[in-house]
């Protein structure tokens, strides 16, 4: 896409702090640096999100993310990491080019909060199962 910032980075039209590159994907430091070492892994081809990406490309991007996450955790002294993607604005996606975040985690007070609310008493899992498996 002509105006996609990640396509421009992949095509070397604008600079990025590249940490990895191969024929299929590119990884670079996220400008926001939620934590030190926050890295994005993107396919060079444009897909708006994981939902429309080629399954082989998704597999390659995640294999690359796993390898880089291991390297980042070891080299940066992190205690763990979050590896995630957002699909759609409601899920927090701000750049509509499939990308995977590698967010190193140094301790529970590093400023990133991912909270999952237990709704088990509020939902009917059979109804949800029927919806998911239609």
Active site residues: 99
Residue 65 has a CB neighbour count (10 Å cut-off) of: 25
Please tell me the total number of residues recorded for the chain in this structure: 134
Distance CA 124, CA 132 (A): 13
Q: Which two tokens stand for residue 130?
A: 């029927």
């Amino acid at each position: 896409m002509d105006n996609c910032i990640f396509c421009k980075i992949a095509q070397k039209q604008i600079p990025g702090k590249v940490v990895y590159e191969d024929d299929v994907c590119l990884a670079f430091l996220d400008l926001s640096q939620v934590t030190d070492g926050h890295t994005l892994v993107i396919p060079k081809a444009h897909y708006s999100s994981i939902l429309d990406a080629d399954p082989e490309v998704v597999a390659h991007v995640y294999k690359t993310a796993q390898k880089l996450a291991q390297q980042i955790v070891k080299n940066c002294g992190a205690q763990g990491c979050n590896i995630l993607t957002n699909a759609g604005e409601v899920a927090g996606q701000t750049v509509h080019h499939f990308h995977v975040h590698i967010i190193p985690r140094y301790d529970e007070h590093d400023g990133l909060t991912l909270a999952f609310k237990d709704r088990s008493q509020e939902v009917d899992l059979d109804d949800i199962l029927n919806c998911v498996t239609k």
